[in-house]
Amino acid sequence: MKDEAQILVSPGEHSEHTRLIPITNLEEIESQRDLIKMYIFEAIENEENGLKIVSKKIEEFDLPEELLQSFAEDPAFEAAFYKLTRGRQKGYFLHFSQAKQAATRLNRIQKFKNRIMMGKGMNDCVCGLSKRMPNCDGSHKNA
């Protein structure tokens, strides 16, 4: 979408596409009524025209050297990583790459390797006890 009025903001530093209009009270809506309608109609038109957002592929990010090294040492691990959904890949990538030290990045990769091999995301339940599948709700702690 065009954002000529520059009112759309990203909800987080790692959001690629999602944008929102921060509104804290009714007066803000009233004062921007025509602008908000214009944005809504543009969004509808984009949808009707079949416009799609192109997301960056995980390969387009600068993957940590430790992750690439782990892939080289274990091709099955690399295959399992790329079988994950794009969102799960990105979650792991961000978690691994945010560590400042190489040793910490390597430890994080090793910690989550089994989850990745099982096809699970960082927050997915692996015990099967969660009532909020696929997410973990901590039910395993009460077992």
The structural domains of the chain, with segments of one domain joined by +, span 1-54, 59-143
Sign (positive/negative) of CA torsion 77, 82, 88, 91?
positive
Is pLDDT at 143 greater than 70 in this prediction? no
Percent of the chain with pLDDT over 90: 57
Count of other CB atoms within 10 angstroms of residue 48: 8
Q: How far apart are CA 52 and CA 59, in angstroms?
A: 20
Residue with the bigger pLDDT between 90 and 56: it is: 90
37's enclosing H/E stretch is: helix 33-48
Is pLDDT at 128 greater than 70 in this prediction? yes
Tell me 20's DSSP state. Answer: B
| CA distances, 88 to each of 28, 53, 140 (Å) | 36, 19, 22
Q: What is the pLDDT of residues 41-67, one digit of tens each?
A: 999 999 999 988 877 777 777 889 999
